[in-house]
Amino acid sequence: MITYGELFIGGTWTAPSSTELLDIRSPHDNSVIGRAAQALPADVDRAVAAARKAFDEGPWPHTSPAERIAVVRKLAALREKRADEIAALISAENGSALWFTKAGQPGLTRQVNAYLKAAEEFGWEETLEPSDPAAPFRSVVRREAIGVVAAIIPWNSPFSSASAKIIPALLAGNTVVLKVSPENTLSMNLLAELLAEAGLPEGVISVLPADRETSEHLVEHPDVDKIAFTGSTRAGRRIASLAGEQLKRVSLELGGKSAAIILPDADLGAAIQGLKFGALLNNGESCIAQTRILAPRSRYEEVVSGLKDLIESLGVGDPADDGTFIGPMVRRDQQERVLGYIRLGVEEGARLVTGGPEVPPGLEAGNYVTPTLFADVDTSMRIAQEEIFGPVLVVIAYDDEDDAVRIANDSEYGLSGGVWSADPAHALAVARRVRTGTVTINGAPIGFDGPFGGFKASGLGREYGAVGLGTYTEYQTITVPEAR
């Protein structure tokens, strides 16, 4: 059993304000796998005070981009050395299948490398000549750090979410308080160990596992300059409201109900195999999961049959087993939430093709859900509109291409999506019509150099690459007179 009795505040392991430790339970069988301290508002105050002092008085915001890049490179190298340990620990905490957490480790490297490349090429300071040749001045435009960043991340993919925020924040010279979910306390404390070893100055970063009440205290803290949040749209709306009262900078990566449009000429075998990962990655607990499958009426039953065979072939069980593709939901209440949506789908009149609200036999001790497929789904049904966050797919029929685009856009969300076609150029033309932040063609993976984020209720702002780095900076313009 792993035990963390202290909190990582300002780069130092420190006694928490409460000596009570939280039991960290395995989603597989609900056994206790660790115990750890949790932050309370008093601990948030200490972390923010350390970050404020480090930003206002410390060296970090005044270091050169090259110096900050060197620290982040060291952090990345330290993480890579412990990649297998990280993958196993996330699986144990989250219930994410080990294939997924292992596959995510190279992705973390690509994510950080994209930020490093952006930082090396970034226009930290540029001189602009006046558009009027007679103007007696020139403008020096600087990009400088915002200040104290509160980075708040969910439980479903903790290292990726943390890296998406703390890496650009640190590269820009900010100080950071990283608030993590209680479910991820063990893996995020491992991240804290890496941060301590990377050599950041005192006060620059804290890692605080905490509940929602403590998170709200962090959001409202007057010494926080920017909030970077990933989580539900409901929580994002609350954070945006609180941030607006103080005019804090805010970026929000929120929920999704992404559509995969299968065009009539698509290779169905390839599309269905691609949806194994695009729709059911991380047990379906993914904001970018393409859980609405849009199929042409001419091939509708082919798509339904192919997805049925796929879903019934997936191994469900202990996330540590090599044969497992779908593990348990992270918590018992999340399991109940997903099972409730499955029951709702039946009540709404959708055709239950495979799966259902029964827990897989022999796995009752854990938070398991049987992967489920619904057909004959109308876009007005709640299972077609609301984010379920579990291994539940719906297949919706469309009449023609315009109808497919209309259905894809008939959602309050706009985070991700996909198009499948034998003609990639045609697929690209369709993708341009879908109102969503990211669209993949024929299962191409999402890259880290381009911006990532959502339209509509899927959020505000963007992450990844140069655009993501820029969201952690403020513009300053200095007008310099020309000597005459």
**Residues belonging to the active site:** 253, 287
Q: How far apart are CA 440 and CA 169, in angstroms?
A: 27
The secondary structure of residue 234, as a DSSP letter, is H
176 SS3 class? strand
For the chain, first and last CA: distance in Å? 73
Any alpha helices (H) in 122-175, and if so which ranges?
158-171
Q: Which helix (H) or strand (E) holds 398?
A: strand 392-398
Neighbouring C-beta atoms of residue 351, cutoff 10 Å: 13
Instruction: Tell me the C-alpha to C-alpha distance, in Å, between residue 147 and each of 57, 126, 230, 425.
Output: 12, 21, 19, 44
Pick from 166, 170, 187: which is nearest to 230 by CA? 166
Q: How far apart are CA 45 and CA 469, in angstroms?
A: 26
Q: How far apart are CA 404 and CA 376, in angstroms?
A: 15
* CA pseudo-torsion sign 36, 180, 117, 146: negative
Q: How far apart are CA 417 and CA 406, in angstroms?
A: 13
Q: How far apart are CA 174 and CA 17, in angstroms?
A: 26
Check residue 267 and give left, alpha or beta (phi > 0: left; psi -120 to 50: alpha). Answer: beta
Q: How far apart are CA 289 and CA 257, in angstroms?
A: 7
Q: How far apart are CA 350 and CA 383, in angstroms?
A: 9
